[in-house]
């Protein structure tokens, strides 16, 4: 701006200077010419008087340097000339000034010489005898005068140039100064040119708008951060060069990123499945994959991000699915176990039935077979009813009515029911303790105690003892079933509550049972928020304690 | 222009990580095949080796392109030259993993006393390869140094395995061919360990600009 102002004012000054020189020259020139004409007029008058008094010869005495005097007859023939030979001159009747003089008595005209460096001014008057006297004087043209004056003019120009240079510099600086010191942070507080006020107002307005937008953007970002940081799922945004643009706390935890910010997604995980997923998603295909690392299953859901039909990155959500994977695994195992357990009795039933169908078997055999079929069918029924019980307990939706149950009476009832079983093995059942009441579902509690005692008898030795001890202390009710049986090896104690788990797979058929007993106990305890503790020594006995809170 | 260069450097980094991961897989497959004789693993190992070869060529041309077009200096230049060196080590690891998988077909570890040591060796080498790639990925010289130290352990185990095999030969073991194959496998493992060590050294060079002069090649 400073430069621009300087340049234009400089230009203006120079233009004004030049044009004023030209104009002054023009005016002066006119003035000179007028002066010259009036001079030659006077001269012509003098000469005409002289000629009239002294005759033509007067002309011959005049030695003119600048002036040239010509006497012309009315028909145009030159009678005498001070500068040229009369005979060489042509007829002058066509000359403008001559014509004028013949008509009006006097005439003027001016003509440029061939070289344009000189201008010749003519004045003609008519003498009394009809002859015409013409006086001419030459004077230099503007260009020549200018050239003559070149030196002083140049000096003037240079002085003017220097002067205007300095002044323009100052002026332009002074003009720009208030603009330079404008405080744009608060544009409305400035005292400056009033032409700038609308601009400043506009700036102030935009200032406010930007501030507001920035505030909004920051708030949005904060909200976004809050959401992502409080997610349990890992959240990652990457660009198409696999740089991590955003990640949340959970992603860092799930992917086990160290505390320093990882820049590249491949530096976080470079396993084959992960690479495959990245490749897929960055080629624009949505990918969902489960990746296992160190026993933890992650589900990666990766969505490509498009801009103008080009993949510019991806959003990856990471879920820890270990629990559901484990549950899935258990469910699969359960299903395959159930089918296996169901199939075994059915196969033998079908086998016996096949033999009897053909009618080959003798009568006593038929009774045997029928017994076997009956036994197997009973086993199936108990298995199915156990499965039903356990699925009922699994299904949280089934609501049972809770009531006050006396564990002592319940245990006595159970021991009565199992008396015959116990007698077969000569096992003695003792119910020790006092009336202790818990709030629970009678049916489920009954099932639990029954299964515990049933196991205690089944896995007991001959002439063994089963104690059911009921006690209460510190607001906790304990029910302990203790036997003197074969015990459970320590390595397998944690697994006995799994469905269909058998410690001794070979003997399970002989002992009977469905393999679901302890699973039912576990579910029943869970239903009542009770804990189960197992203590066991091989060949010494097992005690299972259920602690109600 | 610089922007493009940065992008290409990033791409180089990513490709190197991928190639490193392939190496890890190749050796892991080979070891699994050696121990479990799962036929799929052999196929996987051979497949990984092929992919490694392809990656080596890709990375090589990428490095050349970077060197010719961008004329990198200082750290970038070191990064690219060490990448060039690293990929040849990685390629060797891939080859040797495949070789192990091929020989393993005729070796049955179960009936050899050297079994324990050769599995130890496999474990150590897998650990070394994992860590040298890790040191590159995380740009962590500490890990790289730990790899260099680890190589001594691998060499030691190799000597043990060798001694055991010699003893077996002297005692007139029935299957001499299997013993020789075992020795070769052990040697391959030892070589892979060396390559992993080299890679770790190149990582250190790329980051610090200094060669570890005390290291043995």
A266 vs B138: CB contact, 8 Å cut-off? no
Residues with Cβ within 8 Å of A488's Cβ and at least 6 positions away in sequence, in order, are A496, A503, A534, A536, A538, A542
Tell me the CATH number for domain A2-148. Answer: 3.30.450.20
Rounded Cα distance between A516 and B57, Å, is 60
The average pLDDT across A67-95 equals 79
Q: Is the pLDDT of residue B1 over 60?
A: no
Closest chain A CA to residue B26: A272
The average pLDDT across A454-462 equals 86
Residue B216 lies inside a defined structural domain of this protein: no
Span A295-348, pLDDT tens digits? 788 888 889 988 888 888 889 888 888 888 888 888 888 888 888 888 888 888
| Helix boundaries (H) for A105-149 | 142-148
Domain-wise residue ranges, chain A: 2-148, 231-320, 325-395, 403-548
CB burial of B43-77 (b: ≥16 within 10 Å; e: otherwise) equals ebbbebbebbeebbeebeebbeebeeebebeeebb
| Residue numbers of B between 25 and 54 with CB closer than 8 Å to A | 25
Burial class (CB in 10 A: 0-12, 13-18, 19+), B190: buried
| A325-395 shares the fold of A2-148 | no
Rounded Cα distance between A340 and A317, Å, is 39
Q: Closest by alpha carbon to B95, among B8, B26, B197, B179?
A: B26
Q: Print the domain residue range for B192.
A: 2-208
CB burial of A153-169 (b: ≥16 within 10 Å; e: otherwise) equals beeeeeebeeebeeebe
The average pLDDT across B105-130 equals 77
Structurally, what CATH architecture does the domain formed by A403-548 represent? 2-Layer Sandwich (3.30)
Residues with Cβ within 8 Å of A540's Cβ and at least 6 positions away in sequence, in order, are A484, A487
Q: How many domains does chain B have?
A: 1
Closest chain B CA to residue A261: B138
A267 vs B11: CB contact, 8 Å cut-off? no
Name the CATH topology of A325-395: Helix Hairpins (1.10.287)
Residue B17 lies inside a defined structural domain of this protein: yes
Name the residue among A242, A258, A271 with its Cβ closest to that of B14.
Answer: A242
A264 vs B138: CB contact, 8 Å cut-off? no
Name the residue among B11, B21, B133 with its Cβ closest to that of A241.
Answer: B11
Tell me the CATH number for domain A231-320. Answer: 3.30.450.20
- Helices B176-208 + B74-104 axis angle, to 10: 170
Give A249 to chain B, closest Cα distance, Å: 19
Span A35-78, pLDDT tens digits? 888 888 888 888 888 877 877 777 776 666 667 888 888 888 88
DSSP label at residue A264? B
- CB of B181 less than 8 A from some CB of A: no
Query: For residue B217, what pLDDT is reported?
Result: 44
Q: Is the pLDDT of residue B215 over 60?
A: no
In A251-387, beta strands by DSSP E: 287-293, 296-307, 310-320
Span A238-276, pLDDT tens digits? 888 888 888 888 888 777 776 667 777 887 778 888 888
Name the residue among A241, A243, A275 with its Cβ closest to that of B21.
Answer: A275
Two structure tokens written together for A102: 């013949």
Span A130-176, pLDDT tens digits? 788 888 887 777 677 778 878 888 898 888 889 888 988 888 888 88
Give A260 to chain B, closest Cα distance, Å: 10
Q: Which long-range contacts (CB under 8 A, 24 or more apart) does B148-153 make?
A: B148/B197, B148/B200, B148/B201, B148/B212, B148/B215, B150/B124, B150/B193, B150/B197, B151/B193, B151/B194, B151/B196, B151/B197, B153/B124
Residue B217 lies inside a defined structural domain of this protein: no
**CB A121: neighbour CB atoms within 10 A?**
20
Query: For residue A219, what pLDDT is reported?
Result: 95
Residue B176 lies inside a defined structural domain of this protein: yes
Give B193 to chain A, closest Cα distance, Å: 21
Q: Is the pLDDT of residue B98 over 50?
A: yes
ipTM: 0.78
Q: Closest by alpha carbon to A531, among A517, A542, A521?
A: A521
Name the residue among A241, A266, A272 with its Cβ closest to that of B17.
Answer: A266
Query: For residue B216, what pLDDT is reported?
Result: 45
B137 vs A270: CB contact, 8 Å cut-off? yes
- CB of A241 less than 8 A from some CB of B: yes
Name the residue among B7, B18, B21 with its Cβ closest to that of A241.
Answer: B7
Q: Is the pLDDT of residue B214 over 60?
A: no
Name the residue among A241, A267, A272 with its Cβ closest to that of B17.
Answer: A267
Query: For residue B17, what pLDDT is reported?
Result: 87
Q: Is the pLDDT of residue A353 over 70?
A: yes
Closest chain B CA to residue A264: B14
Find the helix or strand (DSSP H, E) in which B186 lies: helix B176-208
Residues from chain A contacting residue B13 (CB–CB below 8 Å):
264
Q: The domain spanning residue B27 has which CATH number?
A: 1.20.58.220
* SS3 of residue A118 by DSSP: strand
- The whole-chain average pLDDT of chain A stands at 83
Rounded Cα distance between B102 and B30, Å, is 9
Query: For residue A210, what pLDDT is reported?
Result: 94
Q: Closest by alpha carbon to A97, among A84, A85, A88, A110?
A: A110
Query: Which backbone phi and psi does B214 adopt, to 5 degrees?
Result: -75, -15
Q: Closest by alpha carbon to A165, among A14, A4, A2, A1?
A: A14
Residue B213 lies inside a defined structural domain of this protein: no
Query: For residue B102, what pLDDT is reported?
Result: 87
Residue B156 lies inside a defined structural domain of this protein: yes
Query: For residue A270, what pLDDT is reported?
Result: 81
Query: For residue A218, what pLDDT is reported?
Result: 95
Span B48-95, pLDDT tens digits? 899 999 999 999 999 998 889 888 888 888 888 888 988 999 999 999
Q: How many A/B residue pairs have CB atoms within 8 Å?
A: 33
Least confident segment among A220-224, A330-334, B113-117 = B113-117
- CB of A258 less than 8 A from some CB of B: yes
């Amino acid at each position: 701006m400073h430069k621009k102002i300087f340049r234009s004012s400089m230009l203006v000054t120079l233009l004004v200077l030049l044009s004023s020189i030209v104009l002054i020259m023009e005016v002066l020139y006119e003035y000179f010419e007028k002066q010259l004409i009036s001079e030659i007029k006077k001269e012509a008058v003098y000469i005409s008087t002289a000629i009239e008094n002294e005759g033509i010869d007067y002309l011959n005495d005049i030695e003119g340097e600048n002036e040239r005097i010509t006497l012309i007859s009315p028909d145009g023939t030159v009678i005498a000339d001070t500068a040229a030979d009369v005979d060489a001159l042509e007829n002058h009747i066509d000359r403008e000034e001559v014509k004028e003089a013949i008509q009006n008595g006097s005439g003027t005209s001016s003509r440029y010489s061939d070289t344009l460096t000189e201008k010749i001014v003519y004045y003609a008057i008519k003498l009394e005898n009809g002859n015409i006297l013409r006086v001419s004087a030459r004077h230099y043209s503007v260009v020549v005068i200018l050239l003559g004056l070149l030196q002083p003019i140049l000096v003037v120009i240079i002085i003017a140039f220097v002067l205007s240079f300095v002044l323009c510099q100052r002026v332009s600086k002074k003009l720009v100064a208030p603009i330079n010191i404008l405080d744009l942070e608060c544009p409305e507080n400035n005292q400056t040119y009033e032409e700038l006020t609308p601009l400043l107002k506009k700036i102030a307005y935009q200032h406010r708008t930007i501030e507001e937008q920035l505030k909004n953007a920051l708030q949005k970002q904060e909200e976004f951060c809050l959401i992502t940081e409080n997610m349990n799922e890992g959240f990652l945004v990457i660009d198409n060069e696999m740089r991590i643009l955003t990640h949340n706390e959970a992603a860092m935890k799930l992917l086990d990123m160290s505390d320093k910010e990882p820049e590249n997604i491949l530096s976080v995980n470079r396993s084959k499945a992960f690479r495959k997923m990245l490749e897929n998603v960055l080629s624009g295909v949505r990918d969902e994959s489960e990746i296992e690392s160190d026993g933890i299953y992650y589900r990666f859901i990766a969505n490509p991000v498009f801009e103008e039909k080009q993949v510019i990155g991806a959003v990856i959500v990471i879920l820890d699915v270990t629990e559901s994977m484990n549950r899935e695994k258990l469910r699969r195992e359960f299903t395959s176990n159930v089918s296996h357990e169901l199939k075994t009795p059915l196969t033998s039933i079908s086998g016996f039935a096949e033999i009897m169908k053909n009618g080959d078997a003798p009568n006593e055999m038929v009774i045997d077979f029928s017994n076997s079929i009956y036994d197997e069918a009973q086993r199936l029924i108990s298995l199915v009813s156990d499965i039903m019980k356990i699925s009922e307990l699994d299904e949280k939706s089934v609501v049972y009515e809770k009531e006050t149950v006396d564990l002592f009476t319940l245990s006595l009832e159970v021991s009565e029911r199992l008396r015959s079983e116990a007698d077969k093995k000569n096992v003695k059942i003792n119910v020790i303790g006092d009336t202790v009441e818990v709030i629970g579902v009678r049916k489920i509690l009954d099932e639990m105690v029954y299964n515990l005692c049933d196991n205690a008898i089944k896995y007991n030795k001959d002439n063994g003892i089963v104690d059911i001890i009921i006690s209460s202390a510190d607001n906790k009710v304990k029910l302990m079933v203790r036997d003197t049986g074969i015990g459970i090896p320590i390595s397998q104690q944690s697994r006995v509550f799994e469905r269909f788990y058998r410690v001794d797979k070979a003997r399970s058929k002989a002992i009977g049972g469905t393999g679901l007993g302890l699973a039912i106990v576990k579910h029943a305890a869970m239903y009542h928020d009770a804990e189960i503790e197992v203590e066991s020594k091989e060949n010494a006995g097992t005690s299972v304690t259920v602690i109600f809170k | 222009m610089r922007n493009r260069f940065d992008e290409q450097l990033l791409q180089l980094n990513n490709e190197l990580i991928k190639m490193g991961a392939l190496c890890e897989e190749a050796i892991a497959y080979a070891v699994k095949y050696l121990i479990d004789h799962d036929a799929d693993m052999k196929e996987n190992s051979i497949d990984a080796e092929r992919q490694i070869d392809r990656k080596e060529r890709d990375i090589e041309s990428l490095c050349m392109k970077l060197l010719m077009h961008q004329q990198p200096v200082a750290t970038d230049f070191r990064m690219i030259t060490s990448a060039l060196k690293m990929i040849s080590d990685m390629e060797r690891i891939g080859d040797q993993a495949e070789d192990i998988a091929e020989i393993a077909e005729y070796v049955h570890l179960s009936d050899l006393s050297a079994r324990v040591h050769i599995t130890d060796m496999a474990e150590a080498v897998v650990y070394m390869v994992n860590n040298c790639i890790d040191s590159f990925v995380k740009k962590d010289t500490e890990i790289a140094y730990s790899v260099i130290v680890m190589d001594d352990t691998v060499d030691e185990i190799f000597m043990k395995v060798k001694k055991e095999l010699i003893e077996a030969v002297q005692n007139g073991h029935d299957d001499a061919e299997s013993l020789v194959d075992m020795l070769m496998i052990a040697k391959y493992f030892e070589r892979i360990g060396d390559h992993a060590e080299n890679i770790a050294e190149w990582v250190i060079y790329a980051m610090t600009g200094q060669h570890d002069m005390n290291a043995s090649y």
